[in-house]
Every structure is written in structure tokens, then in C-alpha cells.
Structure 1
Amino acid sequence: MDLTILYRGPLASCDYDCPYCPFAKRRDSRAQLTADRSALERFAGWASEQTGDRLSLLFTPWGEGLVRSWYRRALAELSRLPHVRRVAIQTNLSGRTQWLDEADPDTIALWCTFHPGQTPYDRFLAKCRDLAERGIRHSVGVVGLPEHLEQARRLRDDLPDHVYLWVNAAEGHTYTDAEAARWTALDPLFPYSRHPHRSAGLPCRTGESVVSVDGEGTVRRCHFVREELGNLYDGSYRAALRPRACPLAVCDCHIGYVHLETLPLYDVFAGGVLERIPAAPPPGRTPLRLLTPASS
């Protein structure tokens, strides 16, 4: 079986405090960190044993995972397993990168977000250049707030040409056509993020070949639908895997709508769905005129 899993354990602590972040921020206690470590190690152990499947794994913690040793170790170890096609994580890239020496660069990938005001620009850029020098697959992005525009433009100019710069529409922000055009000049795929996508009753790969898993092993079709499909560790989820339509009115997060079958994003990101790397020449350098989404 080819299975994509989005894992989100109980970790919620982050070394940043972005005012626009929709995720709740708190400082995890020692007991909470211990519980997160235990949950992650259990998941990684399960994944290592699934040699009859082909797994693609994306870690989407509420907080920052790569400042924790157990995340770095799990990603490196999983990347070296022959039945793991891809292992990726969303990160603010604040942590060290030397641990990547232990990972398989053909399998591991990073989805990196630049947060102006939380880290010096030059420090973040140096980390990105380090990833490029190491040959680590990665995308880089920003939240599309007006105050971020000039630094986003600077980042696009300073990043290596092959690195995709994505832009997420800011939650609750409405873009005029002129504003959207400025962001689209940096990321031709920004129109997919600008508006929520109608999803009710539409076919989606989640619940069939894509699932989300929490620290207890509870399996759901995605992070945004609370209905449980079973448990990862007793195998009960497998009987529930089947094609199913989305029960929600709209989907407005990339890690959700990228799996909608009514959008062409599996072709756009072929080979890089989890780490958000397009298969086409780098957006921002080569126009992607055929990829503009229909109104939804």
C-alpha cells in the first residue's frame, strides 16, 4: 500500500511567538515534552516496521519540532529506510542543521517558513543556503502580510534559483486584486492560497491514500475533519480506507486542499507534494500560466 501520513503529536511549544500564527502557543512542561517524545518514538517505531507498505511522512507539529532531539533523530532514521519514499517536516529553521549529515538527502525534505520579526533575515538566509549546499530538498515561504512584502522580495532575490518561494494567504486577510498581483509575482501559485476552496461533496484523497495521525495513534482523514477512522497501532484504520467526499464546506489550508482531486496540485507538485516543491521550473522565475485555479 502507498500511504501518506501527516503526523501531529502533542508538541505545542515553539521558540517563536508570531502574532498571525493560528496555532495555539504555550510552553510545554517537562512532562508534556516527555509525552511528546514517547508518542513520536512510538510512531517512528511503527513506521519502521511497515516494510510491506510504501510510506510518505509529513510532520506538522503545532510547535517547532527540529529544536527537539527526538524529531531530528526520528527524521534522520526514517529517511534511511527503503520503504519510506519521503519524510518531511514543517519548520521555522531556527535549529541547527548538522543533524542532516545523518539523513538520506534523497528522502528527507524541509518545508521552511520565514517569520520576519522573529529571526534576523541574514541568519535565516544563511540556513537556507546551508540546506542548498547540503543538497537537502526544501521549499521556503512567508505569510502574505503587507509588512512582509519587501522582505519576501528580498528573499526571492537572494535564494538559489532552484528553491521555490511560496506565499500563504494570511488568515482573515482579504486581498485586493492589486495586492494579490504583487504576491503572485513572487509565487505564481499564490492564487491557490488566496481564496478557500469549495470542497463539500468533492472527491479528496484524504481518507483513502492520505491520513492524519495524532500522538495517541488516532487516525483521521485529515487534520480538519474530526471523524475517527480507527487507530494506527491496532490496524483498525485500514478497513476504513476508501474513496470519500469532503464533508466540509471549504478547505483553506495547503496541507488539506493539495489533496483535493478537483485541483491539479498533484501534477503541479509531482514528486514534492509533502515538501511543497513544484515539479515545474521554479515559480517566480518561469511563469506558470496554465496553473491558475478556477474560482471556487
Structure 2
Amino acid sequence: MDLTVLYRGPLSSCDFDCPYCPFAKRRDSREQLRADRAALERFTGWAAAQTGDRLRILFTPWGEGLVRSWYRRALVELSRLPHVERVAIQTNLSCRTEWLAEADPESVALWCTYHPGQTPYERFLGKCRELARQNVRYSVGVVGLPEHREDARRLRAALPPHVYLWVNAAEGHTYTDAEAEGWTELDPLFPYSRHPHRSAGLPCRTGESVISVDGEGTVRRCHFVRAELGNLYDGSYRAALRPRACPLAVCDCHIGYVHLETLPLYDVFAGGVLERIPAAVPPATGA
């Protein structure tokens, strides 16, 4: 079986204080961190045992995972498994990067978000250059708020042309055509993010070849549909996997709508769906 798994455990703490994020500067207790570590190690053990499957794994923690040793260790261990095609994580890149030398660069990847005002620009850019020196696949992006525009332009100009810089439409923000054009100059794929996608009744790969898993092992088709398909650890989810239509009116998050079969994004991001790296990085015109 070819299976893409989006894992989100109980971790919800972050070292940044972004005003647009509900998890900014949240602290997990020691007990919560122990529970998150145990849940992640259980998941990693499950993934290691699935030698008859072909797995692609994306960690999408509410908080920042790579400041925790167990997330770094999970990426290293999973990247070395021959049946794990890709293992990636969403990160603010505030962590150290030397640990990636132990991972297999053919399968590990990072989806990095730059948060202006939360980390010095030169520090973030330096981390990107460290990833490049280690031959680690990565994409970089920003939230498309007006106050981030110049920082994004500066970052786009500094990054190598082959590194994709994506722009996420800010939640609740309506873009004029002129504003959208400005962001599209930096990220030619921004139009996919600008508006929520109508999804009701449309075919989606989630629930068939893509699943979401929480720290208890509860399997859902994606992070945004609460109906349960079974449990990862007793295998009950497998009987529920089948083609199915989206039950929601719209899908407005990249980790959701990238799997809609009515959009061409599996072709656009061929080989890099999890880490958000297009098969051919479109040239930006506004760097």
C-alpha cells in the first residue's frame, strides 16, 4: 500500500509569538511533553514496522517540533528506512541543523516558515544556507500580510532560484487584485492560496491514499474532517480506506486542498507534495 500520513500529536507549545497564531508562546507542561514524546515514539515504531507499505510522512505539529529532541530523532530514524519515501515537517527553523547530517538527504525534507519580527532575518537566512550545504530539501514561505511584503521580497532575492518561496494567504484577509498580483510576483502559485477552494462533493485523495493521525492513533481522512476512520495501531482504519468525496463546503489550507483531485497540484508538486516543493520552481518576477 502507498500511504501518505499526516501526523499531529498533542504538542502545542511554540517558541515564537506570532500575533496571527493561536499557539504563540504556549508552554506545554512536563507531563504534556512526556505524553507527546511517548505518542511520537509509538507512531515512529508503527511506521518502522510497516515494511510492506510505501510511506510518505508529514509532521504538522501545532507547536514547533524541531526544538524537541524526539522530533529530530524521529526524522533521522524514519529517513533511513527503505520503505519511507519521504519524511518532512513544518517548522519555523529556530532549531539547530547539524543533526540533519545523520538523516538520509534523499528522503528527509523541511517545510520552513519565516516569521518576520520573531527571528532575525540573517539568522533565518543562515539556517537556510546551512540546509543547502547539507543538501537537505526545503521550501521557505511567509504569511501574506502587508507588513511581511518587503521581508518576503528580500528573502526571495537572497535565496537561490531553485528554492521555492511560497506565500500563504493570511486567514481572514481579503486581497485586492493589486495586492494579489504583488504576492504572485513573488510566488507564482499564490493564486491557489488566495481563495478557499470549493470542495463539497469533489473527489479527494484523503481517506483513500492520504490519512491524518493524532497522538492516540485515531485516523481521520484529514485534519479538517472530524469523522473517524478507525485506529492506526489496531489496523482498523485500513478497511475504511476508499475513494470518497469531500464533505466540507470549502478547503482553505494547503495541506488539505493539495490532495483535491480536481486541482493539478499533484503534478505541480510532483515529488515534493509533502515539503511543498514544485517539480519545477516557477520563476518569481518581483524579487
Fold equivalence (TM over 0.5) = yes
Indicate if the aligned counterparts of 1:129 and 1:160 stay in contact, CA closer than 8 A.
no
How far apart, CA to CA, are the structure 2 residues paired with 1:63 and 1:4?
21
Aligned match of 2:242: 242
How far apart, CA to CA, are the structure 1 residues paired with 2:5 and 2:172?
28
How far apart, CA to CA, are the structure 2 residues paired with 1:241 and 1:25?
37
- Structure 2 residue 17 is matched with structure 1 residue 5: no
Aligned match of 2:163: 163
Indicate if the aligned counterparts of 2:188 and 2:282 stay in contact, CA closer than 8 A.
no
Indicate if the aligned counterparts of 1:189 and 1:283 stay in contact, CA closer than 8 A.
no
Aligned match of 1:115: 115
Helix, strand or coil at the partner of 1:3:
strand
Q: Provide the TM-score with structure 2 as the length reference.
A: 0.98
- Structure 2 residue 24 is matched with structure 1 residue 21: no
How far apart, CA to CA, are the structure 2 residues paired with 1:23 and 1:262?
32
Aligned match of 1:138: 138
How far apart, CA to CA, are the structure 1 residues paired with 2:285 and 2:178?
20
Identity of counterpart residues, as a percentage? 85
Task: Trace 1:197-208 onto structure 2 (pairs within 5 A).
Answer: 197-208=197-208
**Displacement of 1:283:** 3.9
**Displacement of 1:22:** 4.8
Helix, strand or coil at the partner of 1:45:
helix
Aligned match of 1:293: none
Aligned match of 2:228: 228
User: Cα–Cα, structure 1 residues 163 and 23, in superposed 2: closer, same or farther, change >3 Å?
Assistant: same
How far apart, CA to CA, are the structure 2 residues paired with 1:161 and 1:177?
26
More displaced 10-residue stretch of structure 1: 13-22 or 180-189: 13-22
Aligned match of 1:185: 185
Aligned match of 2:278: 278
Aligned match of 1:36: 36
Aligned match of 1:289: none
Helix, strand or coil at the partner of 1:117:
coil
User: Cα–Cα, structure 1 residues 228 and 24, in superposed 2: closer, same or farther, change >3 Å?
Assistant: farther
Q: Please give the root-mean-square deviation of Cα atoms over the aligned residues, in Å.
A: 1.1
**Displacement of 1:17:** 1.2
Aligned match of 1:291: none
Helix, strand or coil at the partner of 1:237:
helix
- Structure 2 residue 51 is matched with structure 1 residue 51: yes
**Displacement of 1:282:** 4.0
**Displacement of 1:24:** 6.8
CA deviation map 1:178-233 (0-9, x unaligned): 00000000000000000000000000000000000000000000000000000000
What residue identity is the alignment partner of 2:113?
A: T
How far apart, CA to CA, are the structure 2 residues paired with 1:114 and 1:24?
14
What residue identity is the alignment partner of 1:155?
A: L
Q: How many residues align?
A: 286
How far apart, CA to CA, are the structure 2 residues paired with 1:97 and 1:89?
13
Indicate if the aligned counterparts of 1:12 and 1:24 stay in contact, CA closer than 8 A.
no
CA deviation map 1:14-33 (0-9, x unaligned): 00011112557621000000
How far apart, CA to CA, are the structure 1 residues paired with 2:114 and 2:151?
10
Q: Provide the TM-score with structure 1 as the length reference.
A: 0.95
Aligned match of 2:69: 69
How far apart, CA to CA, are the structure 2 residues paired with 1:235 and 1:106?
29
Task: Trace 1:92-107 onto structure 2 (pairs within 5 A).
Answer: 92-107=92-107
User: Cα–Cα, structure 1 residues 25 and 15, in superposed 2: closer, same or farther, change >3 Å?
Assistant: closer
Aligned match of 2:128: 128
